[in-house]
């Protein structure tokens, strides 16, 4: 939408000398609304920047003159597409409608729609559909149609199983990683040695995979030559996905797997809590024993000090006795 000016603006950075405001009227998703800019003391660039901050509109400055004799004007468009977001007109508060005052022209010869807002339209099987964008997501359930040019085309819909295949493979890989971790931690001498809880948990997960999926031929056991590991046969999985009930089978498996997983997450949390209690008990015992030892050490220190004092006294007495014997002529037996 080009917004013309009453007088030629040759410098878009120069402040406008007039006083007033520009209101841009437009539709927002079919509802009439407007955005007003006070242009008093502002330049054309200031006005453009303010419009661009509106959230709904975007503006730019064009030169309809030459480089030596410029004529700068505004072009405004809606950020949203379609007829429900069209710009419907402008108002300049200082313009009485005949361009005898104000800054922005309200005459249709100067201010006008350059490109009409319109909806994209397609016809599918004789039925017309419209969209405010070039994307149609409500025509065929689960299918998005992106229109790139006018004309006619045949639509061929094929089933993309890559995402589903990726999800199934991620479940199998997660199970394999879980088995690796459990075997590592439950070996002799390891932290969970002798604890069969996690082994039972992995066994139930394995049974869940075997009972729900392996019967359809796309689950292979012994990945990388390791027993108890699973992998996906992509060819058989593709054949499986051609079944009309494939999505139901996978959804039932997902529901069962999720239920088992939530159950054992709770079990693992309980085990972790029990280990925390045991660790806390052991730490308390260590603290208690440490305090007892420190107390005994302190008692022994005091006893040792007393012993040293006693020994010093004994040595002093012995020295005095020896001196007394020497002075009195008393000799001791050899």
- Tell me whether residue 144 is in a domain: yes
**What is the b/e burial string over 36-74, where b = at least 16 CB atoms within 10 angstroms of the residue's CB?**
ebebeebbbebbbebbeebebbebeeeeeeeeeeeebbb
Same domain for 209 and 133, yes or no, is no
Same domain, 140 and 171: no
Residue 303: per-residue pLDDT: 80
Query: Are residue 74 and residue 177 in the same domain, yes or no?
Result: no
**Residue 64 covered by a domain:** yes
Same domain (yes/no): 124, 61: no
Residue 36 pLDDT: 95
Q: Does residue 83 share a domain with residue 11?
A: yes
Q: How many domains is the chain built from?
A: 3
CA distance 283 to 117: 74
Strand partners, 31: 28
* 152: three-class secondary structure by DSSP: coil
In a domain, 330, yes or no: no
Assess whether 183 and 137 both reside in one domain.
no
Rounded Cα distance, 209 and 71, in Å: 74
Give me the tens of pLDDT residue by residue for the chain, a chain 334 residues long. Answer: 889 899 999 999 999 988 999 999 999 989 999 999 999 999 999 999 999 999 899 999 999 999 899 999 999 999 988 888 899 999 999 998 898 899 999 998 888 888 777 788 888 878 888 888 888 887 776 678 888 888 887 776 667 788 889 989 988 888 888 888 888 888 877 776 777 777 777 788 888 888 888 889 999 887 654 567 888 999 999 999 888 888 899 888 888 888 877 777 666 666 666 667 777 778 888 888 888 888 888 888 888 888 778 788 788 877 777 777 666 655 555 4
d(CA 73, CA 104): 9
3-state SS class at 292:
helix
Q: Is residue 201 part of a domain?
A: yes
Tokens of 51: 């419009």
* Cα separation, 53 vs 39, whole angstroms: 15
The full DSSP string for 265-276 is HHHHHHHHHHHH
* Strand extents, DSSP E, 45-166: 57-63, 72-78, 87-92, 120-124, 127-131, 135-140, 143-146
- Can you say whether residue 324 is alpha, beta or left, with left for phi > 0 and alpha for psi between -120 and 50 degrees? alpha
Structure tokens at 45: 């660039």
Residues 153, 166 within the same domain = no
**Containing domain of residue 20, as a range?**
2-92
Q: Residue 71 has what pLDDT?
A: 93
For residues 146 and 183, membership in a common domain is answered with no
- Start-end of H helices in the chain: 44-52, 162-185, 197-212, 234-240, 246-328
d(CA 97, CA 106): 6
> Could you give the 3-state DSSP secondary structure of residue 28?
strand
| 115 inside domain | no
Paired sense of beta strands 72-78 and 57-63, if any: antiparallel
Do 73 and 50 belong to one domain?
Answer: yes
Per-residue HEC secondary structure of 35-64 comes to EEEECCCCCHHHHHHHHHCCCCEEEEEEEC
Looking at the domain assignment, is residue 289 inside a domain? no
Q: Choose among 83, 3, 92: nearest CA to 39.
A: 92
290 within some domain? no
Q: Are residues 86 and 166 in the same domain?
A: no
Could you tell me the two tokens for 279?
């660790």
Residue-level pLDDT at 208: 85
Phi, psi of 182 (to 5 degrees): -65, -45
From 107, 136, 157, the end of a domain falls on 157
Dig out the tokens for 169 from the structure.
Answer: 């493979």
Residues 277, 172 share a domain: yes
Are 168 and 132 within one domain? no
Query: At which of 139, 157, 175 does a domain end?
Result: 157
**Encoding tokens for residue 176?**
């394999």
Tokens representing 330 are: 């008393």
In a domain, residue 54? The reply is yes
């Amino acid at each position: 939408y080009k917004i013309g000016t009453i007088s030629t603006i040759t410098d878009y950075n120069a402040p406008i000398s007039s006083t007033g405001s520009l209101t841009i009227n437009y539709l927002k998703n079919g509802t009439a609304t407007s955005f007003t800019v006070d242009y008093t003391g502002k330049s054309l660039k200031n006005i453009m920047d303010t419009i661009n901050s509106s959230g709904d509109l975007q503006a730019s400055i064009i030169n309809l003159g030459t480089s030596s004799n410029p004529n700068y004007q505004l072009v405004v468009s809606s950020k949203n597409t379609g007829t429900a977001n069209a710009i419907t007109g402008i108002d300049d508060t200082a313009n009485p409608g005949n361009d005898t005052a104000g800054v922005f022209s309200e005459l249709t010869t100067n201010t006008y729609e350059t490109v009409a807002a319109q909806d994209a339209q397609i016809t599918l099987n004789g039925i017309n559909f419209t969209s405010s964008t070039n994307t149609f997501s409500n025509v065929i359930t689960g299918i998005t149609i992106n229109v790139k040019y006018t004309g006619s085309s045949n639509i061929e819909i094929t089933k993309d199983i890559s995402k589903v295949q990726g999800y199934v493979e991620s479940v199998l890989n997660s199970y394999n990683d879980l088995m690796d971790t459990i075997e590592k931690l439950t070996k002799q001498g390891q932290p969970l040695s002798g604890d069969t809880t996690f082994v039972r948990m992995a066994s139930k997960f394995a049974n869940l995979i075997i009972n729900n999926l392996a019967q359809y031929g796309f689950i292979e056991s012994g990945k990388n030559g390791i027993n108890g590991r699973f992998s996906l046969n992509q060819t058989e999985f593709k054949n499986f996905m051609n079944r009309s009930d494939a999505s139901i089978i996978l959804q039932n498996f997902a529901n069962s797997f999720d239920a088992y997983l939530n159950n054992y997450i709770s079990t693992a949390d309980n085990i972790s809590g029990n280990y925390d209690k045991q660790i806390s008990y052991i730490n308390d015992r260590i603290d208690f024993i440490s305090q007892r030892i420190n107390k005994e050490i302190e008692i022994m220190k005091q006893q040792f000090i007393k012993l040293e004092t006693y020994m010093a006294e004994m040595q002093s007495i012995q020295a005095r006795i020896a001196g007394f014997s020497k002075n009195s002529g008393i000799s001791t037996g050899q």
